[in-house]
Structure 1
């Protein structure tokens, strides 16, 4: 793939290697948002009941194609990953066989939302939370996966695991972990925010019980909108909200007071209220279409090629990097050499117009198809200058 920077409106003077914090809009996504605002202000009289539902259906279908899901009814529109996690926590007490003394398994250094979500339900149900620590050293992927797999036993009721660690870019072997979770009758919840859209994800192979993604990073959509896949274990679950749009025949506006106590099928009950999102859904639709056009595997390969010559030099300079087999190419954690403060390093890079994130014990580099070889070289020069 050739660089796609021409599809964006990025300042040519900056080197933005920070998609893991927020993905920039393509010009098409920006245009979709502007047009949606115009429609809302200038064509408001043309609004019809289908306009409340059809854009959401388009997004469900596109997201399903992205993750290999053959049933768009299993996709819910959520405002955030924490909302989707709250759905799971709300329904965990309904899990068959759940018993006091069972455990929820998490990763060390996980994103806060993936930790806080379980504290209340664990206390109420008498569950424990086991955090699997990250091994010492630079290359930890293999041993961390082994530790996580070993933690899954008959006492496990829930595993929460991303495809890629949000700070360090370590890849987790989700297919093996999912198989083990099924063996011990544990639910698997995947936070795909830092991977789906840039790293191939095969729903049919992983078979998670829930997959949750924020829109504004690797899906390259707007903030405060996300998508959640909910498997069969949630089909008769309890939603966080009792929204009118989740009910059968809710598209028949002239009959809305014919109250229904049942829900539309599968994941519809978990949609956030006001799911129509007249401005943001067209933007997310445009973003998903572009991702499908590029191809997720191509995005991953682009990141690998972009940094192929830079990473060996950084290793020579003392920056720690995960071994390739357990390293994502769209999100890399560079451990800083001893004595180098990560916040000072981030500030130094920003002064050179190189934008990355300080996370944990290193910096997080997150390239995309808008990045150029000059961006990679600017990163190298900036990191060389401080050691």
Structure 2
């Protein structure tokens, strides 16, 4: 099994960091790459046209590899919310139809659909579930039982707030049967969970790099299926996503054709000389470890989390519903209003929302980190 890779990060010995689903640290090699990237802009006289393309295509290729896609299927965008907004601009939503999403869906995967429903005269239906019910079953029931036509299903493989698994392949099948579009947010799992987009076949899938991909903030990617690659409308209009946009005389002629594949959706100023090298180095590191090895490591660490949590009498989702890479522990009566602050004072970092504590390790963690976290929690919640 993959061992702890803490030596590749600048995490102080006295810090217990188990909050990658909030923000990952950047590997040391990626920090160095970012510094070199910043210096590119310090000497613009050394730049060539390749400065605008080479790293863009390397980043695109790496991002595609984490979801089983081809480089042509992936666009470079600034954020998950941008990718969702782009999807919302393209999918067909008829007046009187419904857009389905899970209760407490992440805001980046929520607000665009509320806005679109308002514009189109459609309605957002929030799907709820009881603790013993699965999200996939409830979403499928809502799709098949809807009195109004279903236009869009907002999907993912894990509920970000609950840490519960979603059988997205089953949801995707039901979505296609209904003639609806499936739009997915992968920010809370791409880089942690092996995934094959060709099995699920969503219309769009977008994911940021600053969590499980160990990358920079303000960079994301967007998968678009073949139909949208040919017919989709970008949010921005510029020469970098146009065929011939790299020509020295690009300003003399209007080029109506887009670059092939999902590149039509690329954001403006996509060639961020400081941000892209960080993402590239972090993704190359993950690629060398291998998706299966990383996931196996996270499974082991999350099993350890639940062993420690249950020793202290904490609860959470039923074992059959838990995501393999995220643990959301219910503190119940042992929750304290000042717990998050006191954990930080003890240099232990997790996310606490209400009485739920989300614990998310990555490859820089080991079992000792988890034991130390729960020792601190036991002391603070007595």
Under TM normalisation by the shorter chain, which class is it? Answer: over 0.9
Counterpart of 1:209 in structure 2 is 203
Q: Is the 8 A contact 1:315 1:321 kept in 2?
A: no
Instruction: Write out the 4+ residue segments of structure 1 that deviate beyond 6 Å after TM superposition.
Output: none
Q: Which runs of 5+ in 2 are unaligned?
A: none
- Segment drifting more, 26-35 vs 305-314: 305-314
SS in 2 for 1:67: coil
Matches within 5 A, 1:1-387: 1-42=2-43, 44-69=44-69, 71-92=70-91, 95=92, 98-135=93-130, 137=131, 140=132, 142-153=133-144, 155-234=149-228, 235-338=230-333, 340-341=335-336, 343-385=337-379, 386-387=381-382
| CA positional deviation for 1:208 | 1.0
Unaligned runs of 5+ in 1: none
**Offset, 1:322:** 2.1
| Per-residue deviation, 1:242 | 0.7
The 3-state SS of whatever aligns with 1:76 is strand
| SS class of match (2:333) | coil
- Cα deviations by residue, 1:182-224 (Å, 9 ceiling, x for unpaired): 1111111110000000011111111111110011111111111
CA contact (8 A) 1:346 1:363 kept: no
Whether the 8 Å CA contact 1:157–1:185 is kept in 2: the answer is yes
Shift, 1:246, TM fit:
1.1
SS at match of 2:211: coil
| Distance change (3 Å), C-alpha of 1:205 and 1:28 | same
- Pick closer, same or farther for the CA change 1:210–1:326 going to 2, 3 Å: same
**Structure 1's 310 and 68: CA in aligned 2 closer, same or farther, altered over 3 A?**
closer
Decide whether the 8 Å contact of 2:302 with 2:326 is kept in 1.
no
Contact 2:61 2:71 in 1 (8 A): yes
Q: TM-score, normalised by structure 2?
A: 0.94
Listed one character per residue, the Cα deviations across residues 57-108 of structure 1 (whole Å, up to 9, x for unaligned) are 1111111112111x3122111111111111111123xx3xx43211100111
Instruction: Give SS of 2:96's match.
Output: coil
- Residues 88, 113 of structure 2: 8 Å contact kept: yes
**Structure 1: distance between partners of 2:342 and 2:294:** 28
Give the secondary structure class of the aligned counterpart of 1:333: strand
Q: 1:162, 1:191 within 8 Å by CA — same for their partners in 2?
A: yes
Return the alpha-carbon distance in structure 2 between the equivalents of residues 78 and 123 of structure 1. Answer: 25
Distance 2:370 2:356 in 1: 17
Distance 2:287 2:25 in 1: 17
CA distance in 2, matches of 1:230, 1:247: 17
Provide Cα deviations, 1:11-44, integer angstroms capped at 9, x if missing partner.
Answer: 11100000011111101110100111223324x3
